[in-house]
Amino acid sequence: MTALRIEPARPCHAAVCSAVHEACFPEAERWTPDAFHALLGTPGALGWLSLDGDQPRGLILVRQAGDEAEILTLGVHPACRRQGLARALLDHAIAFLAQRAVEALFLEVSTTNGAALALYACCGFRSCGLRKRYYPDGSDAQVLRHDLTSVIL
């Protein structure tokens, strides 16, 4: 792996984002290039790509509304997992949002995704709800919240 960097994702990166997303998620949960293009072009949408040289390895997309934000998706290519890329993307987004005076960051994660649940717990997320049968496979979603007012910049 060469020097990893995190770069902003813009609407022109829609196809790259979609390709990374396709590698990370089951078919029923994948987003198309058109979906990424539309999302990244909306006010309040923010995204970042993790790159190894010129190769995209992961992505995170969030949506900010006032002093709250929501992680819409976070994924790392399966061949690059367990190397700290998801944590780097998450830390980057948290720091960016905290600088923008965002007070709370939310997300939904499958209750069957132990690795993601462990990552979010280590990063300061706490459970604040449950959405029954939220995902296409019928699994529940744990709703998590991170208080960004305690983030040290």
Q: What is the pLDDT of residues 17-70, one digit of tens each?
A: 999 999 988 888 889 999 999 999 999 999 999 998 888 999 999 999 999 999
Instruction: Provide the β-strand partners of residue 47.
Output: 61
* Fold of the CATH domain 4-150: Aminopeptidase (3.40.630)
The catalytic position among 68, 108, 134, 135 is 108
Retrieve residue 52's tokens: 């190894």
* pTM of the predicted protein model: 0.90
Give the number of C-alpha atoms closer than 13 A to the C-alpha of residue 60, restricted to the C-beta side. 21
d(CA 55, CA 57) in angstroms, rounded, equals: 6
Nearest to 5 by CA among 44, 39, 48, 67: 48
d(CA 116, CA 114) in angstroms, rounded, equals: 6
Residues 78-124 pLDDT 10s: 888 888 899 999 999 999 999 999 999 999 999 999 989 999 999 99
What pLDDT does 29 receive? 83
What pLDDT does 112 receive? 92
What pLDDT does 68 receive? 97
The catalytic position among 29, 68, 70, 120 is 120
Give per-residue burial for 103-141: e unless 16+ CB within 10 Å, then b: bebbbbbbbeeeebbebbeeebbeeeeeeeebbeeebbb
d(CA 87, CA 116) in angstroms, rounded, equals: 10
What pLDDT does 150 receive? 79
- DSSP H or E segment with residue 57: strand 55-65
CB 129 within 8 A of CB 104: no
Whether 120 sits among the annotated catalytic residues: the reply is yes
CB 60 within 8 A of CB 48: yes
Whether 134 sits among the annotated catalytic residues: the reply is no
What pLDDT does 52 receive? 87
State the pLDDT confidence band at 153, using cuts at 50, 70 and 90.
low
Domain ranges for the chain: 4-150
